[in-house]
Amino acid sequence: MMPRAPSIGVAAIVAAALVSVVTFVAPAEAHAQSLYNAAGLGVPLEAVDGRARALGNLGIGLGGGAFMPTDPGALGRLRVSTGIMAAQPTWMDFRTPAGATGSVQGTRFPLLGIAYPILGGMMSVQIGSYLDQNYEVQRTNTVDFGRGPIETADDFRQDGSISNLNLGYARMIGDALSAGITVGRYAGSLDRSLTRTYGDEETTDVDSYVESGTWSYEAWAFTAGVSADLSSRARVAVSVQAPTELDAEGEAETRGSDRTYSLPVQYRAGASVTVSPALVVSASVLLADWSDVQRDLQGAALAGDQNGYGIGVELSRARFFGRTVPLRLGFRETGIPFTFDPDGTERIISGGLGLELATSGDVVLAGVDLAVERGHRFGGGINEKFWRATISLLASGL
């Protein structure tokens, strides 16, 4: 279904305000998880744990078992019921082409899930992040009604997110291969508002202008993947995620049409190799072309690809006070799907560690993984530098 053109209202005004503020207007302030979510859909997020973040991994191909939505094959390698929760605070500084600067911060919970053995395999329920749509921008300007210029103040707010609820199942096929499938439901909402005030309330007779709208989002996604041990030292994994179109439905009082967005198929592959008893090297790649969503976007933003790669090393036998504390370093580079420059890029250097709080044999009953990332997004004259921490807690039961 092709999207209907939005009515003249919040869509057109928002698009004009965002383009002028984010790109070339100097007297402005902006607040967001990222300026690159100004395109309308938001910034893609990955529902991965602290270990993957620390290794620069794109959520696939790591040793051991896991139940990240990006690697359904790894779920079958879990042997006991397991729960996980991740928190992710971010601190970001930005600079626009006009020289405006600012700092923002926020916290997300990108992954929450439980897994339980059933029917000879492992079933999981996961709630994960997908798109962050939080954005706020203010600017000042002047208009002339024929009696001299009047100063205007615009305040645009975009508040929302899209998450995915996943039901997954995986099982071992022999001793070396695990296969899994995940059915996911994308859901979320978005509130947008634009408030324009004219001059000083005590001296002007021009009323303020307010335009607002609320949309709800829905889509399905199906992910299949396999994880295979090529030897006792090497593991490879691949996954494919095929989503349906994302429907955005406006509430009855919302001025603006319903819309449909063409989400991309995502291909992931990863591998980890034990180079020595204490050293593990991992690598992963992601292919996701968002260009088909270009016709659905508002404003001047461009839709491109999110293709990227990540590499990392883990000192798996490091110990601290008698406990195993793996040390990790990583690097990753991916494209930015929505930007004002077709070459928008995100680069991240990361590090972190894991702490096994309780074990039973080789099964981790309780553990913590911590990652710290230093990232840089750039493209179209916009620069963002950020610190991001991810803390994930894992608990298992025999």
152-156: Cβ within 8 A, 24+ apart: 152/196, 152/197, 152/198, 152/199, 153/196, 153/197, 154/17, 154/21, 154/194, 154/195, 154/196, 155/193, 155/194, 155/195, 155/196, 156/14, 156/17, 156/18, 156/21, 156/192, 156/193, 156/194
The set of residues, in sequence order, having a beta carbon less than 8 Å from that of 263 and lying 6+ positions away, is 219, 221, 243, 244, 245, 246, 293
Write out pLDDT tens, residues 355-382: 988 877 777 788 899 999 999 998 877 8
pLDDT of residue 7: 33
pLDDT of residue 203: 58
Tell me the pLDDT band of 168, cut-offs 50, 70 and 90: very high
Residue 9 has pLDDT above 60, yes or no: no
Write down all domains in the chain, each with its CATH number in brackets: 10-397 (2.40.160.60)
Residue 325 has pLDDT above 50, yes or no: yes
Residue 17 has pLDDT above 70, yes or no: no
The values of phi and psi at residue 54, to 5°, are -65, -30
Distances (CA, A) of 78 to 48, 169, 188, 286: 16, 11, 30, 24
DSSP string, 241-260: EEE-PEEEEE-TT--S--EE
Q: 198 near 208, Cβ under 8 Å?
A: yes
* Mean pLDDT score of the chain: 82
Write out pLDDT tens, residues 169-226: 999 999 999 999 999 999 988 887 888 888 776 556 677 778 878 888 999 999 999 9
Residue 12 has pLDDT above 60, yes or no: no
Placement of tokens 């601290």 in the chain: 320
Is the pTM above the cut of 0.85?
no
Average pLDDT, integer, range 27-35: 51
pLDDT of residue 18: 34
Of 56-65, 104-113, 201-210, 369-378, give the lowest mean pLDDT range. Answer: 201-210
Tell me the pLDDT band of 100, cut-offs 50, 70 and 90: confident
- The Cα 170–Cα 216 span in angstroms is 31
pLDDT of residue 323: 78
Of 82-86, 99-103, 246-250, give the lowest mean pLDDT range. Answer: 99-103
- The Cα 318–Cα 337 span in angstroms is 38
Tell me the pLDDT band of 10, cut-offs 50, 70 and 90: very low
Tell me the pLDDT band of 127, cut-offs 50, 70 and 90: very high
Average pLDDT, integer, range 300-325: 84
Q: What percent of the chain has pLDDT over 90?
A: 43
Bridge partners of residue 314, in order along the sequence: 280, 328
Q: 71 near 61, Cβ under 8 Å?
A: yes
Bridge partners of residue 248, in order along the sequence: 217, 259
Residue 13 has pLDDT above 70, yes or no: no
pLDDT of residue 184: 94
Placement of tokens 């074990």 in the chain: 359
SS3 content of the chain, % helix, strand, coil (to 5): 10, 60, 30
Classify each residue of 354-374 as buried b or exposed e, where b means 16 or more C-beta atoms within 10 Å of its C-beta.
bebeeeeeeebbebebbbbbe
Tell me the pLDDT band of 298, cut-offs 50, 70 and 90: low
Question: What Rg, from alpha-carbon coordinates, does the chain have?
Answer: 23
Of 106-110, 168-172, 317-321, 326-330, give the lowest mean pLDDT range. Answer: 317-321
* Among 34, 246, 23, CA closest to 134: 34
pLDDT of residue 373: 98
- The Cα 362–Cα 355 span in angstroms is 14
By three-state DSSP, how is residue 262 classified?
Answer: coil
- The Cα 111–Cα 75 span in angstroms is 15
Write out pLDDT tens, residues 130-140: 888 777 777 78
Q: Which amino acid is at 41?
A: L
- The Cα 295–Cα 303 span in angstroms is 9
